[in-house]
């Protein structure tokens, strides 16, 4: 079968090649890429393979994509054909599936050889020569570049040609102390250009507003012998007079009601309100002047700094209240000292109030379908200080389609009010803020009515007060000193109580409970989208009932109450580490480890259901459905699935690893491996089978599978098919089920092929 499939691919490729040849314009051939031939001097240390890889960076254009030596995307380009319309199905398919041909008429081997030679000289390989040619074969053409590579030159010394001016002294001192190029480094033009840009930025943070990187000159003397160069830096003699001096800030004026329709920007501060040495000209009185006092991070008399300027722009944009933010610096012509500047900020307000409604449909992994309608009303300037008020109300219906859950519909009706303050909102206390990253304070009050049609009603009240801040681009913190919730169960039906007689543990799912908590989380991110390595780490601690338990003297399960309701006591810690490494072009290796430890004590024997850990499903172990795995070696029954909203535990371990292969810019595929489980601290719910033991590692579930992802720009659609490889609920010694895999069996497929459809990446 595999041989026939392979032969079929070859036949299809042959048909494709003939078809592409038929479409090519007369006299044209299809470009099939370049071959680099390296002939290096015996003194060159780099290998020919490394040099060829480096030389290929300068080769243009890039060839079309090929499979089995054939241009499949070009074939689609021609077959779909050109459309008279820019939008529509045909143009969309042509862009996504096809690729315009790179024809031989675009190939100029001699010009490209010159570019390659210039590239090598710019990286210090002086006296290297490159010759270009083309080779035709059938309807293809290929470029051949032969490079005679000479040894790379290195920097012997870095010297400054300077006078007694402060500008040149400042540049020389900083370059020697913090320069990115040093004596002994290989000569590379890109590093010299980067050094110029870095020195320009340094000056911009030292008041030199009018200075430009182009005013810096660098000369290389390669005639000193021994394949070394002397680098000379200097400042052009004819630079503008303004660029030679640092500038100080005179007046700072903010115009928070600027319209883009104005012919010119106002600079008059007549009628402006003065606050904290700023001028605020708000004719409509929409904003409190203090808002801009917090947003502007520098003051009159300070030295101009691009860092302070960028932080101010970032804070103004982050407010979310302004659609456009512009700034202008202007030399103060009236000042006795010529080196002073006036600063003007022009802010265009966004629409302050908005009403939005959403209608959603969903299919859940707990064998149910449903829909939700929600209405959101927002005010982006509640107290005239860019505070964001959000009022949300929603209603949802969930209908199970599994036979064991039939006629047990779920209704949800709720609402919440939240206010986001763009600063630390703490009574009687002022905390110094990070200039570049403004903090946020969030206050939320919410209520939800949850009704299981045949069993019970739950009323959930929430109150949360938290702060979020960043110290830099990589580190973010959240601290919630107050995180309260109150769960009240009511309208419990007789049918539920009849089931309790046979299964007493389900009574835990309707206990009323209060959570008097607080939590702290830390998030670290490092790595760019194009970087080779990307890291994400999140850690958190969640506490509840500690002070209440100490005051009340709680010692046993549900012994003490507050407002006639037992309160939860626990300590919960979470660790989540993601690591993604780019292996080769279009191939990534992504990994995740999650560790959760919950420790209920005294007034609690288990974590509250809202705080428990869960396993299985589209973003966990994809070979097991939600509520079908764990805790421990326990296998959830139909009764569990009927009465427990979620089946969780107090401890969790999860490991995921997948290879992600990009096929096109919007389509990718993956092969994944998942392992993990959850456990309980006590035996109340699921007995000894669910309890954590020293043999926890023998109780891990393992699954593997494949997936496809489609990036539709607005949202990423993901389809994964998982297969269980190890089932922890089977007897010890029989848990690995690799030998039972039988794709030809419909019964096996129905039980073991788990389809997961979701939005976004799993991690």
Q: How far is CA 364 from the centre of its chain?
A: 25
Statement to judge: residues 144 and 164 lie in one domain:
no
Residue 6 placed within a domain: yes
Is the pLDDT score of 335 beyond 90?
no
Of 177-186, 299-308, 499-508, the poorest mean pLDDT is in: 499-508
Tokens 């700094």 sit on residue: 305
Same domain for 166 and 236, yes or no, is: yes
Mean pLDDT rounded to a whole number for the chain: 92
CA 696 from chain center: how many Å?
Answer: 33
Instruction: Specify the higher pLDDT residue, 362 or 629.
Output: 629
Tokens of 523: 């998030």
Question: What confidence tens digit (pLDDT) does each residue in 119-170 have?
Answer: 999 999 999 999 999 999 999 999 999 999 999 999 999 999 988 788 999 9
Give which of 472, 437, 444 is closest to 460, Cα–Cα: 444
Q: Which of 97, 105, 96, 80 is nearest to 30 (CA)?
A: 105
> What residues contact residue 167 under an 8 Å CB cut-off, 6+ apart?
203, 208, 235, 244, 245
Q: Is the model's pLDDT at 14 over the cut of 80?
A: no
DSSP letters of 258-321? Answer: --TT-SS-----TTPEEETTEEE--TT--S-HHHHHHH----TTSBP-HHHHHHHHHHHHHTS-
Domain edge (last residue) among 134, 149, 164: 149
Higher pLDDT: 18 or 214? It is: 214
**Rounded Cα distance, 648 and 680, in Å:** 8
| Band of residue 95 on the pLDDT scale cut at 50, 70, 90 | confident
> Within 13 Å and on the Cβ side, how many CA atoms surround 189?
10
Residue 671 and residue 676: Cα distance in Å, rounded? 17
CB atoms within 10 A of CB 15: 12
pLDDT the model gives residue 533: 94
Tokens 């050094």 correspond to 195
Exposed/middle/buried for residue 29 (C-beta within 10 Å: 0-12, 13-18, 19+): buried
Do residues 85 and 51 share a domain?
A: yes
Same domain for 252 and 240: no
Claim to verify: residue 24 and residue 71 sit in the same structural domain: yes
| Distance of alpha carbon 285 from alpha carbon 369, whole angstroms | 50
Contact (CB, 8 A) for 412 and 395: yes
Q: How far apart are CA 613 and CA 359, in angstroms?
A: 29
**pLDDT tops 80 at residue 342:** yes
Q: Based on the domain organization, do 140 and 6 belong to the same domain?
A: yes
At which of 191, 213, 244 does a domain end? 244
In the predicted model, is pLDDT for residue 320 greater than 80?
yes
Buried residues in 67-97 as b, exposed as e (16+ CB within 10 A): eeebbbbbbbbbebeeeeeeeeeeeeebeeb
Residue 404, pLDDT score: 55
pLDDT at 9: 47
Distance, in Å, from the CA atom of 721 to the CA atom of 757, rounded to the nearest integer, reads 9
Q: Is 509 inside a domain boundary?
A: no
pLDDT at 353: 96
Residue 657 lies in a domain: no
- Give the separation between CA 328 and CA 341, rounded to whole angstroms: 10
CB burial of residue 111 (10 Å; 0-12, 13-18, 19+): exposed
Q: Which of 201, 228, 244 is the last residue of a domain?
A: 244
Cα torsion 678, 684, 686, 692 to 10°: value is 40
Same domain membership, residue 128 and residue 60: yes
Q: What is the pLDDT of residue 87?
A: 84
Residue 648 lies in a domain: no
Is the distance from CB of 499 to CB of 458 less than 8 angstroms? no
d(CA 414, CA 395): 7
Name the 3-class secondary structure at 230: strand
What is residue 406's predicted lDDT score, i.e. its pLDDT?
64
- Per-residue tokens: 540: 């958190």
Distance, in Å, from the CA atom of 452 to the CA atom of 443, rounded to the nearest integer, reads: 30
> How far is it, in rounded angstroms, from Cα 457 to Cα 348?
48
Residue 332 backbone phi and psi in degrees, to 5:
-80, 105
pLDDT at 2 over 70: no
| Per-residue model confidence (pLDDT) at position 405 | 56
Minimal CA–CA distance to 252: which of 202, 304, 201? 304
Q: How distant is the alpha carbon of residue 230 from its chain centre?
A: 44
The tokens describing 233, both together, are 């830096």
Q: How confident is the model at residue 336 (pLDDT cuts 50, 70, 90)?
A: low
Identify whether 454 is part of a domain: no
CB 469 within 8 A of CB 440: yes
More confident residue, 449 or 586: 449
The structural domain count of the chain equals 3
Answer yes or no: is 467 within a domain.
Answer: no
| pLDDT in the model for residue 372 | 95
Instruction: Confirm if 231 and 218 have CB atoms less than 8 A apart.
Output: yes
CA atoms within 13 Å, Cβ hemisphere of 402: 12
Q: Six-digit token pair at 175?
A: 């370059």
Report the C-alpha dihedral over residues 248, 250, 256, 262, rounded to 10 degrees. -90
What is the residue range of 117's domain? 2-149
Q: Is the peptide bond before 631 cis (omega within 30 degrees of 0)?
A: yes
pLDDT at residue number 748 = 95
Kindly tell me the burial class for residue 624, based on how many C-beta atoms sit within 10 Å of its own C-beta (0-12, 13-18, 19 or more).
buried
Q: Tokens 């490159």, residue?
A: 130
Distance of alpha carbon 529 from its chain centroid, rounded? 8
Q: Is the same domain home to 233 and 162?
A: yes
Helix count and strand count (H, E) for the chain: 14, 29
Per-residue CA distances from 318 to 206, 322, 386 (Å) = 26, 9, 10
Rounded to two decimals, what is the model's pTM?
0.83
Looking at the domain assignment, is residue 177 inside a domain? yes
Together in a domain, 229 and 252: no
| 269 shares its domain with 300 | yes
Closest CA to 685 of 559, 571, 600, 595: 600
> Across residues 431-459, what is the average pLDDT?
92
Q: Are 706 and 669 in contact (CB under 8 A)?
A: yes
CA distance linking residue 29 with residue 136, whole number of Å: 8
Polymer length of the chain: 763
Q: Which range has the worst mean pLDDT, 222-231, 361-370, 629-638?
A: 361-370
Q: Which pLDDT belongs to residue 640? A: 86
With a cut of 60, say whether residue 18 has pLDDT above it.
no
Which CATH number do you get for residue 219?
3.10.20.310
Q: Look at residue 77 and tell me whether its pLDDT is greater than 60.
A: yes
- Whether 123 maps to a domain, the answer reads yes
> What pLDDT, in 10s, does the model give residues 648-678?
999 999 999 999 999 888 899 999 999 999 9
Give the span between the Cα atoms of 504 and 707, in whole angstroms: 41
Average pLDDT over every residue of 51-57: 92
Beta strands in 380-432 (DSSP E): 388-400, 410-421
| Gyration radius (Cα) of the chain, Å | 34
- The arithmetic mean of pLDDT across residues 199-224, rounded, is 95
Residues 178 and 43 both lie in one domain: no
Q: Half-sphere exposure of residue 225, counting CA atoms within 13 Å on the CB side? A: 0
Do 295 and 189 belong together in one domain?
A: no
């Amino acid at each position: 079968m595999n041989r026939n499939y392979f032969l079929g691919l070859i036949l299809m490729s042959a048909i494709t090649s003939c078809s592409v040849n038929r479409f090519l314009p007369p006299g044209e051939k299809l470009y099939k890429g370049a071959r680099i031939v390296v002939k290096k001097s015996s003194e060159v240390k780099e290998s020919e393979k490394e040099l060829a890889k480096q030389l290929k960076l300068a080769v243009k254009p890039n060839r079309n994509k090929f499979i089995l030596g054939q241009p499949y995307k070009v074939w689609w380009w021609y077959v779909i054909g050109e459309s008279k319309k820019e939008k529509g199905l045909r143009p969309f398919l042509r862009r996504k599936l096809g690729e315009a041909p790179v024809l031989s008429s675009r190939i100029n081997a001699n010009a490209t050889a010159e570019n390659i030679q210039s590239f090598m000289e710019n990286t210090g390989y002086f006296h290297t020569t490159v010759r270009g040619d083309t080779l035709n074969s059938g309807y293809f053409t290929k470029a051949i570049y032969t490079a005679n590579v000479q040894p790379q030159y290195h920097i012997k010394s870095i010297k400054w040609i300077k006078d007694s001016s402060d500008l040149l002294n400042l540049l020389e001192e900083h370059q020697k102390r913090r320069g990115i190029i040093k004596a002994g480094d290989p000569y590379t033009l890109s590093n010299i250009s980067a050094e110029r840009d870095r020195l320009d930025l340094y000056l911009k943070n030292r008041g030199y507003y009018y200075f430009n990187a182009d005013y810096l000159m660098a000369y290389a003397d390669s005639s000193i012998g021994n394949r070394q160069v002397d680098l000379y830096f200097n400042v052009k003699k004819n630079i503008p007079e303004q660029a030679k001096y640092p500038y100080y800030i005179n007046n700072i004026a903010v115009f928070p009601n600027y319209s883009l329709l104005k012919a010119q920007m106002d600079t008059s501060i007549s009628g402006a309100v003065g606050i904290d040495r700023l001028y605020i000209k708000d004719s409509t009185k929409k904003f409190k002047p203090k808002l801009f006092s917090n947003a502007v991070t520098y003051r009159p008399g300070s030295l101009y700094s691009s860092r302070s300027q960028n932080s101010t722009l970032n804070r103004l944009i982050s407010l979310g209240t302004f659609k456009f933010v512009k700034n202008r610096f202007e030399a103060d012509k009236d000042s006795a000292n010529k080196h002073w500047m006036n600063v003007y900020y022009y802010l265009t307000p966004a629409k302050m109030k908005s009403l939005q409604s959403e209608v959603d449909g969903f299919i859940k992994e707990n064998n149910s379908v449903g829909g939700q309608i929600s209405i959101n009303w927002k005010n982006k300037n509640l107290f005239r200080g860019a505070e964001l008020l959000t009022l949300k109300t929603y209603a949802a219906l969930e209908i199970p389609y599994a036979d064991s859950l039939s006629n047990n519909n779920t209704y949800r009706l709720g609402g919440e009010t939240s206010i986001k303050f763009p600063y630390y909102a703490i009574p009687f206390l002022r905390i110094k803020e990070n200039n570049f990253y403004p903090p946020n304070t969030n206050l939320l009050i919410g209520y939800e009515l949850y009704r299981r049609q045949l069993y019970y009603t739950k009323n959930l009240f929430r109150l949360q007060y938290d702060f979020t801040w960043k110290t830099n681009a990589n580190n973010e913190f959240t601290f919630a000193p107050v995180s309260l919730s109150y769960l009240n169960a009511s309208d419990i039906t007789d049918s539920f109580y009849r089931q309790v007689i046979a299964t007493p543990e389900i009574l835990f799912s309707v206990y009323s409970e209060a959570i008097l908590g607080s939590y702290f989380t830390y998030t670290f991110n490092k790595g760019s989208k194009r970087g080779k390595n990307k890291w994400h780490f999140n850690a958190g601690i969640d506490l509840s009932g500690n002070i209440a338990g100490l005051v009340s003297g709680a010692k046993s399960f549900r012994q003490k109450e507050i407002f006639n309701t037992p309160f939860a006591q626990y300590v919960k810690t979470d660790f989540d580490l993601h690591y993604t490494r780019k292996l080769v072009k279009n191939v990534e290796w992504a990994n995740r480890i999650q560790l959760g430890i919950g420790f209920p004590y005294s007034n609690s024997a288990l974590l509250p259901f809202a705080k428990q850990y869960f396993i299985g499903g589209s973003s966990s172990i994809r070979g097991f459905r939600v509520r079908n795995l764990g805790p421990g070696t326990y296998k959830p029954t139909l009764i569990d699935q009927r009465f427990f909203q979620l089946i969780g535990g107090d401890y969790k371990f999860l490991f995921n690893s997948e290879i992600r292969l990009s096929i096109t810019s919007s389509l990718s595929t993956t092969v994944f491996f998942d392992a993990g489980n959850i456990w309980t601290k006590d035996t109340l719910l699921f007995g000894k089978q669910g309890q954590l033991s020293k043999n926890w590692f023998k109780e891990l579930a393992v699954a593997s599978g494949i997936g496809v992802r489609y990036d539709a720009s607005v949202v990423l659609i993901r389809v994964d098919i998982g297969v269980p490889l190890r089932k922890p609920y089977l007897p010890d010694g029989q848990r690995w089920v690799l030998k039972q895999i039988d794709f030809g069996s419909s019964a096996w497929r129905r039980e073991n092929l788990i389809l997961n459809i979701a939005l976004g990446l799993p991690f």
